[in-house]
Structure 1
């Protein structure tokens, strides 16, 4: 049934709090669960066109926000109405302010039954890159089964539980890669990111925990700031305790090569079998140079990390300026110590 704001109680009629609140809730646009292959452009267009009478809805919301609602005596009720109307506005304001997105990401593995991970990406405010699911994380996650059988066969036994092997993901973001590793590798994975990213990461872990545990994996998480010991979770008090470190799309700022290198040297086990699995999109000359700087920096120190193997895959990012998908070349490599 179509919704027409002409049938809603109007401000000039001085409706009750309950009537206005009910009307605002009818205009709510809950985010659906999108397929992983759906481009952000389509998602954005859907958000912008879900309401048949968009201009009328905007005018209706504006009338409530601008009104002092003088006939409503309770100040808390007024605030509730203004907040609700503002949320309805934000749901219709395009990529930067649109409501949260939830997408399902399918996986297939020779060792496990097909499964899906449900990932929430909150409404984007500012440039919080850790709240977006980047194409490289899914591309690397889809390669985890093959990596286990080839590059990490000395550590992982595909198809069997690997409970004693702790894996750390650095810069987990929305958690897609780390949770996929826990499920596919049937092992424990610790997901980490900045404190501001952790609430959404914790939410995604809770949503997918039963799926991961059914497949034989477990997931833990904690705040971890690269290059700093302040505010980090207790599980990172010990150093060099992880035999595998995972990281996807970590290099997009001038400081990142050194910071990522310091985090790897702090947490990778000093063992000849320990490995780093890294994927970095080479979007432009700048990102290519960041990869080169990282390799140069991570090679220094007692671990003496070097590239044991490297590959290139082509994937898609869906965060270009027009909301569409863009093809991106993704370099990925296995790093290990040549000095131990």
Structure 2
């Protein structure tokens, strides 16, 4: 899928999309028809920009573009708290097409109803793409536990597109988010009772791990507040040292952290160093994944991917 079409799927703000080169108008119209049910206003704004570009270049314009724009003239922007279905490209391989995950979320809500999990954060997309595309990460035959799954992007991506992952356990401490996951699973044709997937509530520091043979822990954007870091590190610490009722110790953890506050990140790395001092793990920051499929808004802070390997 070309870059422009991928940006449309991921609802890149229209002002940020750079249109250039040859344009497959029929293909773009097909994508917009699918998005229209969720955000007609976005489709209208994109079509206006596309038609302006084509007219400025004296390109021949498909009459169906004008007809579609006419149909959408009355479309209004979504309310800030409205939900829509956003598509995320998690695998892009030449000749094989893009592999997408669909998520119902409230993309304009930073925090609501006591949680930040109503929208998909950039670090979740980054970690999903890293786990599926990097040759530095081997999850073959692994049972993977996701902490703070939120809208479910990472767990669904692994469950659907990682051919050799043994099982994925999606967990979150918010029961409301857990209750919302079946809808997103249905959007992606993932059976709720899939033997490759398990969804459950997990409150850090109180609930035990959902399986006795977890091999790998993954999490994204769970380091946003220093007040929760002790509980987070305790889960990882115990999973690598003394899993209650566990037959297997976790060997690796991948934590994607957005650097929004330097003090918070410093607190996080201080806890990581304590684990190293205790000879529990060695930690490192993985090299960034180079892939044009990743798009972030202007001003998005640095995203660091931490790898903890049990000693």
Report the alpha carbon displacement of residue 93 of structure 1 after superposing the two structures with TM.
7.7
TM-score after normalising by structure 1: 0.58
Counterpart in 1 of 2:119?
132
Q: Is the 8 A contact 2:257 2:304 kept in 1?
A: yes
Q: Does 1:198 align with 2:170?
A: no
Instruction: Please say if residues 146 and 171 of structure 2, whose CA atoms lie closer than 8 Å, have aligned partners that are also in contact.
Output: yes
Distance 1:129 1:101, change over 3 A: same
Q: 1:316 to 1:251 in 2, by over 3 A?
A: farther
Q: Which residue of structure 2 aligns with residue 183 of structure 1?
A: 160
Pick closer, same or farther for the CA change 1:208–1:297 going to 2, 3 Å: farther
For residues 263-321 of structure 1, give each alpha carbon's deviation from its aligned partner in whole angstroms, at most 9, with x where no partner exists. 223445876882111111112323322331341354466x7022155334697665xxx
Partner of 1:143: 130
Query: In 2, distance between residues paired with 1:201 and 1:300?
Result: 38
Secondary structure (helix, strand or coil) at the match of 1:204 reads helix
1:169 aligns with 2:146: yes
CA gap of 1:252–1:40, structure 2 versus 1, over 3 A, is farther
What CA deviation, in whole Å up to 9, does each residue of 1:180-226 have, x standing for no partner? 1223322221100022321122321233243999xx98221100011
Cα 1:146–1:167 change in 2 (3 A) is: same
Which residue of the other structure, out of 330, 333, 338, is the alignment partner of 2:303? Answer: 330
Unpaired segments ≥5 residues, structure 2: 1-7, 17-37, 46-75, 243-247
From the CA coordinates, give the structure whose radius of gyration is larger: 1
Q: In the superposition, relative to structure 1, how do residues 309 and 35 fare at CA in structure 2: closer, same or farther (>3 Å)?
A: same
Q: Distance in 2 between matches of 1:249 and 1:172?
A: 10
1:225 and 2:225 are equivalent in the alignment: no
Question: Which residue among 172, 186, 190 is the counterpart of 1:210?
Answer: 190
Q: Is the 8 A contact 2:259 2:304 kept in 1?
A: yes
Deviations 1:19-53 (A, max 9, x none): xxxxxxxxxxxxxxx72142398999948x99xxx
Unmatched tracts of structure 1, length 5 or more: 1-33, 51-90, 157-161, 319-324
CA contact (8 A) 2:200 2:210 kept: no
> What is the SS of the residue equivalent to 1:279?
strand
Task: Quote the residue 2:54 is aligned against.
Answer: none
Indicate conservation of the 8 Å contact 2:152/2:170, yes or no: yes
